[in-house]
Amino acid sequence: MYYVGIGILVVLLIVIISFVRKPNANSEVAKQVETPPQIQKVNDIPLSQRPFVQMLIRPAEKNCEGMDLMVSNFHSNETNFDYFMEYETQKGLIEVINGNRDLIVEKTHDPLLFGTCSSGACTCQKVVDGSLKLTFSSANGEYVLKNDFVYANVGDKKGIIKSKDLRLTLDIGTVLANRNNVLIGSSFGLPGELNEKVVLGPYYISSYGVDKLSKTVKAFFQTKDSMGGKVQFWNGENWKEIPSTVEGEKLSFEIDQFGTIVLTE
């Protein structure tokens, strides 16, 4: 009985100590809760309200090849934009170009070069494709546009050049020399008002020094849903419908100059 009594006292003492030492609930370390990163909305403003962006190929002169960004047709009193270009090289490297452009104070902008130059020496890159993100500040707040582009050499591609989403194909053949580079970009705004609904594009096509082609180039839109749609091209002043024919699941047409092209319904 003596040992039983001592055991009971020990148990009661442990319970009392545990109760006295019980920490305050508010002093406990909070459990760590992971929150997802903020997702930035891209291309969420209507096509008709986006500025028009031209991606003009710039040849290698004293420096590397590159491009000039020409931004126009504003709709929301944009004041400036940040640009972030990511491109892949033929060696499989990922390179980045970024910066900011003021739209209030007009000034000559620097070209976006595919490579780096220092003390008169340049390390240049051969580009395969990439993406361009533009973050605009405007009277209505901030918005972000992003596109994908391919940058292809005619000779390397044997005259067949496709957009990154594979929906537009150019069969250039021998109309351009093998040394020419051709850029096809997507997903920016329109150069002029268009009443018909755009169902594919806009696509922007450029090649240095090439506007009017010496011969027409055959092109295809890969599409299942809008075989009755109209191919339209911006000729610098207005939209021009281009005759097209259905070939399987493709719309076939011909163009005699580079620029902006869409499919409407």
Q: Is the pLDDT of residue 117 over 90?
A: no
Q: Where are the domains of the chain?
A: 47-264
Predicted local distance difference test score (pLDDT) of residue 239: 96
Q: Which of 8-17, 96-105, 151-160 has the lowest mean pLDDT?
A: 8-17
Query: Rg for the chain (alpha carbons), in Å?
Result: 29
What span, in angstroms and rounded, lies between the C-alpha atoms of 59 and 68?
A: 10
Predicted local distance difference test score (pLDDT) of residue 223: 84
Higher pLDDT, 234 or 118: 234
Q: Where are the beta strands (DSSP E) in the chain?
A: 52-58, 66-72, 80-89, 94-102, 112-113, 115-118, 121-124, 127-138, 141-153, 160-162, 168-171, 181-186, 198-206, 212-222, 230-234, 239-242, 244-247, 250-257, 260-264
Q: Which of 106-110, 121-125, 191-195, 213-217 has the lowest mean pLDDT?
A: 106-110
Predicted local distance difference test score (pLDDT) of residue 30: 44
Cross-strand bridge partners of residue 108:
none
Predicted local distance difference test score (pLDDT) of residue 87: 95
Predicted local distance difference test score (pLDDT) of residue 162: 97
- Per-residue model confidence as pLDDT tens digits over 182-238: 999 987 999 999 999 999 999 999 999 887 899 999 999 998 766 778 999 998 899
What span, in angstroms and rounded, lies between the C-alpha atoms of 37 and 56?
A: 34
Report the percentage of the chain scoring pLDDT > 70. 84
What span, in angstroms and rounded, lies between the C-alpha atoms of 224 and 206?
A: 26
Q: What is the pTM of this model?
A: 0.81
- Per-residue model confidence as pLDDT tens digits over 148-181: 999 999 999 999 999 999 999 999 999 999 999 9
Helix (H/G/I), strand (E/B), else coil: 66: strand
Q: Is the pLDDT of residue 3 over 60?
A: no
Q: What is the mean pLDDT of the chain?
A: 86
Cα dist. 190→101, 258, 260 in Å? 20, 15, 8
- Per-residue model confidence as pLDDT tens digits over 15-70: 555 555 555 444 454 455 565 655 678 898 999 999 999 999 988 877 889 999 99
Higher pLDDT, 262 or 2: 262
